[in-house]
Structure 1
Amino acid sequence: MQDMNLTSLFIELMARLGLNYEFLATGYEAQIWRDGFLTTLYLVAVTIPVSLIVGLIFAACLTSNRPWLSAPVRGFVELTRNTPTLVQLMFSFLVLNTVVSNMVGGAQNNPLSPFFWVVAVVGLHVAALHAEAIRGGIEAVPSSMIEAARGMGFSPFEIMRYVQIPLAFRSSLPAIVNGLISLVKSTTVGNAIAVSEITYASIMVWTQRDNVVELMIVLLAFFSLINFVVARVGSWVERRLAIPGYGL
């Protein structure tokens, strides 16, 4: 009851400003909108770790002396970062998803949902950007540190794990945070394949209510808030991982 009173009060206050949020008083449309918010948050929460983990793996492959590791990843990175995310998503959903459906005997047996394709495409797209940032950080690690690690008996894998990647990750954090901010914004491409994230839900509402301005205000505020949090967390991590005298 209290929630309904607060909702009614909000609708009334916004109406005085000439803004129409009456759909919040209807159960069906309000639920679609709330589900859209949650779906976007789920997308962000799942896609961020996917992009970071794959980005680290890609960076390790790119700096590897083994061509069978570096060449395929380099080709994927070039293809991914040079084509629009929306085009990649449409190709994946309309072509690759169809191939999977044919292999498993029809779309009804396909376990890959539109949500999966958004996570996969956006996550891998941003992972390619992370990989390039981390690769630059790895190559910027002073050779004296690498030689010192070799002198201590570290294997190439241990040098990568304990010396190069930790230092590279620190120096590439600003670029990584920018990539994560781009990732949050890129989740909106999910509306192209009917993933019910917040922009898709808003379109569903404003086509019935003709309140584009009102919903766009909320969308701008919503994504601004998420990316503000991502940026602040990134700054905090950067300060915590800073090494005095290194990279200044």
Structure 2
Amino acid sequence: MNYHWDWMFFFQETDDGLKYYDWILSGLGWTTFVSLASLAVALILGSVLGVMRTTPKRWLVGLGDAYVDVFRNVPLIVQLFMWFFVVPELVPENIGLWMKQDLPYFVIAIVGLGLYTAARIAEQVKAGINSLSRGQRFAGLALGFTEWQTYRYVRLPMAYRIVLPALTSEAMNIFKNSAVTYAVGILELYFQYKQIIEKTSQVLEITIVVTLCYFVLAFVMNRILAFVEARTRVPGLIVGTKGSK
């Protein structure tokens, strides 16, 4: 393979007066912003759905199950296209016009990625709650808590500790899944990757750099949540790897 390596091309000036490394940094910023905002949406909505699916109210369970079944079984890119192209045509005309002309693209990307990930988090929150002893719920009710207060003060804090490793995986995956948002116009890392290849044909250099960027983002999130897991572990309930027998 007769390939010409040229790492210095990152410092060449582009058509817009910036340098190629500026495009990488811009894409990295958008990837981080969209991913973290989507993760916040997914954690909030996923927690609500997880609670709904463990309540005694069958209609809430049904709503939660329907949401998870739909959003887990439709590819992310199809969901983004639905929000971007189809939904504006289904809502009232003035709202649809606003969505197409004034609503920032990154809002659609955050909503689409957040709703998709929420379905996965809902499964994990449900599993965490169901893994708890029924006695915890009864103890909360005996203390005078309402059903919702037992979730807030008793069941959810314990469930989050149990499913934190699974939530860590979702938090790492959301950075990788954010690459799909280029399809709706987000100038994130993968978009810049494709654009630089078209401009320079330096495929190997830019592929290595972008791969390292995604690795660093996911690895940092992994280490942050591993620290949170270690700090919030309940002694005797979740056994750590150090000192375990």
Shorter-chain TM range is: 0.7 to 0.9
The answer for the alignment partner of 2:158 in structure 1 is 167
Per the alignment, residue 22 of structure 1 pairs with 9
1:209 corresponds to 2:196 = no
Tell me the SS of whatever aligns to 2:18: helix
Shift of 1:104: 3.0
SS in 1 for 2:226: helix
Report percent identity of matched pairs. Answer: 26
Contact 1:23 1:209 in 2 (8 A): no
TM score, norm. by length of structure 1: 0.86
Which of 157, 177, 182 is equivalent to 1:186? 177
Equivalences, count: 232
1:72 aligns with 2:66: no
Q: CA deviation at 1:83?
A: 1.8
* Match in the other structure for 2:32: 41
CA distance in 2, matches of 1:233, 1:98: 41
The answer as to whether partners of 2:46 and 2:118 remain within 8 angstroms in 1 is: yes
Would you say the 8 A contact 2:88–2:96 is kept in 1?
no
Structure 1 stretches (4+) deviating beyond 6 angstroms? none
Equivalents in 2 of 1:98, 1:107: separation in Å?
Answer: 11
Residue 211 of structure 1 deviates from its aligned partner by 1.2
Aligned residue type for 1:35: S
Kept in 2: contact 1:51–1:123 (CA 8 A)? yes
In 1, are the aligned partners of 2:27 and 2:189 still within 8 Å (CA)? yes
Aligned residues: CA RMSD:
2.0
Q: What SS does the aligned partner of 1:38 have? A: helix
Q: Distance in 2 between matches of 1:163 and 1:145?
A: 7
Contact 2:197–2:206 at 8 Å: present in 1 too? yes
Check whether the contact 2:168–2:225 (CA below 8 A) recurs between aligned residues: yes
- Identify the residue that residue 8 of structure 1 maps to in structure 2: none
Match runs of 1:1-248 below 5 Å: 18-26=5-13, 27-30=17-20, 31-100=22-91, 102-104=93-95, 106=97, 110-248=101-239
Instruction: Give 3-state SS (helix, strand or coil) of 2:74's partner.
Output: coil
Provide TM-score, normalisation by structure 2.
0.87
Are the counterparts in 2 of residues 191 and 199 from structure 1 also a CA contact under 8 Å?
yes
Q: Which has the higher helix share?
A: 1
Partners of 1:78 and 1:202 lie apart in 2 by 33
Consecutive unaligned residues in structure 1, runs of 5 or more: 1-16
Confirm or deny: 8 A CA contact 1:101 1:109 kept in the other structure: no
Matched to 1:18, the amino acid is W
